[in-house]
Structure 1
């Protein structure tokens, strides 16, 4: 009988084909405990699952890993879904995972997804219904277990960020049958405390069973109807509950919830100092601008003021007065010269001046100046004017 000799690669390839063509191995659900868990920087996940007798390697590619609803951890009991195949290079078979679920909580996940879908359709998760977180909360109500790590983390963060912020701790059950009712009563009570600005609902990490009280429908409506802002910090970063979806803000951890709720006093003081300096600088700038503006207005007023105008007009009046006096004096001088010339001319042609030379003026009241002997012979009475005066004379002139 002839037996073909196979290479190692051929043998591994043959086994891989057998495994890949097996229907059961192609669609397997395998349960066990996670060990050697590694999240690679590429996004792929490598781990093993084991029970008390055996172990098998698993790999989940990034495309499937990004859809996980939780982050697997070492020691966690899970059910992996996928296919079994052979990695030819090493000749090892492993499970190529499409999904991972915590073992024994499949029904809880179904109930969670069902309630989530119902409340989402009713609009309880809408962003428009979420209240704005106050920037400067003075008093914060904290709903959590009084003995857990969550309350200590919140207190430590609050003291570090702002020691003046007051915390009102309302102790509640955070797991078990009566936990949801306990939390609802706490929300109702803190809503009646007038000076509370924010409510923190917090709990440390745990399994889905331990966090199940935060997936209660009545609690969801209590959070939705709260008049106070509610921040949830339930579990670890990968844990999501119905309470997180309904709340006004979901924080990944209790400490992160405190970071959101408690404002940093040192930062606020720095801001106040910065605002004060900016305000002082702005005031100084405005005052300087206003002062400059007033100076310009004052200069403009000084230039255009009635007083300055009047003073300047006084100078103008004095100048006009002086100019008028000069013109009057000039005119008077000119007129005086004209008068002197006229007087000289008049004096030169004054007939009275001829009298000084021995001449006389003979007048008659009827004919006036007598300037011919013929007329003189006809007269009986004449007035003779000489240089020293006039006198009438009677004539007795014969032909």
Structure 2
């Protein structure tokens, strides 16, 4: 029997034809555990599928990956639909996945509980890290699909409660392998804006696979690290995601999330009226208190003013001057009385007054002659009588 010698390329090409023409290999459905999962920047997903006895490499191109309802993770038990084909250049065979689903919902629940426990141990769910939602937000950021029912519910509820509310929508994917990254980008973008007071993260209801994008650990950390308060409103009331536990508050539905964030316009108007009244009262009280302080300071200033000191000193000087004048007046009058008394005494004893009574005064050389003996010795004397003085020559006559 003659056997043709084949080249390696010919063998690999032949094997590829066999793979491509085999009905089972072209329509394979394989279950196993995911490993070596890598999401390329192009959107392709590379992985290995293994069980206890073997392993097969696989790839899911981006056009199929966009429609995934789950996010492939290490150790996840999945069922993959696609075709198995050979790659002639290296002789390897690969499963080209078109669909991927978790092998039973139980596996997803296990993965959910494991991630929940890990993040809880890290402290991401602790109440002390929760931020309060502003009572009257200026602008609300909403991260969701621009075409889903969730955004319509949010807008309807918001407009019904308050038509003056300001909403900024950040469109993102809410399902599929690329969804967590677009949501994270939305959080980082809105958190960097100074005009956003609160963020609403929401999407409509769905199966656990459809909501799986909100059970991503990187997304959980992005929510935790966000400085702006976040409300998570994903799915229906019975649906819980990791983002609900990490967020500052949970809304059971997108509509309830909008009700939590958007205040009633009537409440805002009432708050403004009350604030205005309180402000007026506080301003009036403040002005009254300040006026009282000013009056007290004015009184204190008057009391300790230099002008008042000068006036006080002036009053004292005037008082002293008045007392001094009174004293001088009394002193002068006292002296005048004493002088008058002395004058009276002098006049009473004045030689002239004595002369007026019939006596005379004889002087010689300005000296009063009081002895007859002295008189005899003088030739000329001055004699003063009541009506005047004259000089006389003395001649002694013997009797």
Query: SS at 1:200's partner residue?
Result: strand
The alpha-carbon distance between structure 1 residues 224 and 287, as it changes in their structure 2 partners (threshold 3 A), is closer
Aligned to 1:188: 185
Query: SS at 1:383's partner residue?
Result: strand
Task: State the Cα deviation string for residues 144-197 of structure 1 (Å, max 9, x = none).
Answer: 47343x3343223322333222241626454xxx2x423532442463354655
The alpha-carbon distance between structure 1 residues 335 and 240, as it changes in their structure 2 partners (threshold 3 A), is same
Q: Give the drift of 1:225.
A: 6.1
Quick one: distance in 2 between partners of 1:224 and 1:334? 106
Q: Give the drift of 1:321.
A: 5.2
Aligned to 2:110: 110
Aligned to 1:233: 233
Aligned to 2:155: 155
Quick one: distance in 1 between partners of 2:308 and 2:230? 72
Equivalences for residues 1-399 of structure 1 within 5 A: 105-122=105-122, 124-125=124-125, 133=133, 136-144=137-145, 146-148=147-149, 150-163=150-163, 164-168=165-169, 170=171, 172-174=173-175, 178=176, 180-189=177-186, 191-192=188-189, 194=193, 196-217=196-217, 219-220=219-220, 223=223, 229-302=229-302, 305=305, 323-365=323-365, 368-397=367-396
Judge conservation of contact 1:231–1:257 (CA < 8 Å) in 2: yes
The alpha-carbon distance between structure 1 residues 229 and 187, as it changes in their structure 2 partners (threshold 3 A), is farther
Question: Structure 1: which 5+ runs fail to align?
Answer: 1-103
Query: SS at 1:141's partner residue?
Result: strand
The alpha-carbon distance between structure 1 residues 225 and 283, as it changes in their structure 2 partners (threshold 3 A), is closer
Judge conservation of contact 1:140–1:198 (CA < 8 Å) in 2: yes
Query: SS at 1:359's partner residue?
Result: coil
TM-score, normalising length from structure 1? 0.59
The alpha-carbon distance between structure 1 residues 120 and 287, as it changes in their structure 2 partners (threshold 3 A), is closer
Aligned to 1:8: none
User: Aligned-pair RMSD on alpha carbons?
Assistant: 3.7
Quick one: distance in 1 between partners of 2:304 and 2:228? 65
Quick one: distance in 2 between partners of 1:395 and 1:219? 159
Q: Give the drift of 1:217.
A: 4.2
Quick one: distance in 2 between partners of 1:303 and 1:109? 84
The alpha-carbon distance between structure 1 residues 269 and 187, as it changes in their structure 2 partners (threshold 3 A), is farther
Q: Give the drift of 1:226.
A: 5.8
Judge conservation of contact 1:234–1:254 (CA < 8 Å) in 2: yes
Task: State the Cα deviation string for residues 277-332 of structure 1 (Å, max 9, x = none).
Answer: 22222221222222233334444545665556666766666665555544444444
Quick one: distance in 1 between partners of 2:222 and 2:299? 71
The alignment covers a number of residue pairs equal to 290
TM-score, normalising length from structure 2? 0.59
Query: SS at 1:192's partner residue?
Result: helix
The alpha-carbon distance between structure 1 residues 137 and 346, as it changes in their structure 2 partners (threshold 3 A), is closer
Q: Give the drift of 1:203.
A: 3.3
Quick one: distance in 1 between partners of 2:293 and 2:123? 59
Task: State the Cα deviation string for residues 22-66 of structure 1 (Å, max 9, x = none).
Answer: xxxxxxxxxxxxxxxxxxxxxxxxxxxxxxxxxxxxxxxxxxxxx
Question: Structure 2: which 5+ runs fail to align?
Answer: 1-103
Quick one: distance in 2 between partners of 1:166 and 1:196? 9
Judge conservation of contact 1:377–1:397 (CA < 8 Å) in 2: yes
Q: Give the drift of 1:138.
A: 0.7
Judge conservation of contact 1:132–1:229 (CA < 8 Å) in 2: yes
Judge conservation of contact 1:233–1:250 (CA < 8 Å) in 2: yes
Q: Give the drift of 1:236.
A: 3.6
Query: SS at 1:291's partner residue?
Result: helix
The alpha-carbon distance between structure 1 residues 277 and 242, as it changes in their structure 2 partners (threshold 3 A), is same
Task: State the Cα deviation string for residues 112-162 of structure 1 (Å, max 9, x = none).
Answer: 2222233444555456766665552414123147343x3343223322333
Q: Give the drift of 1:253.
A: 2.6
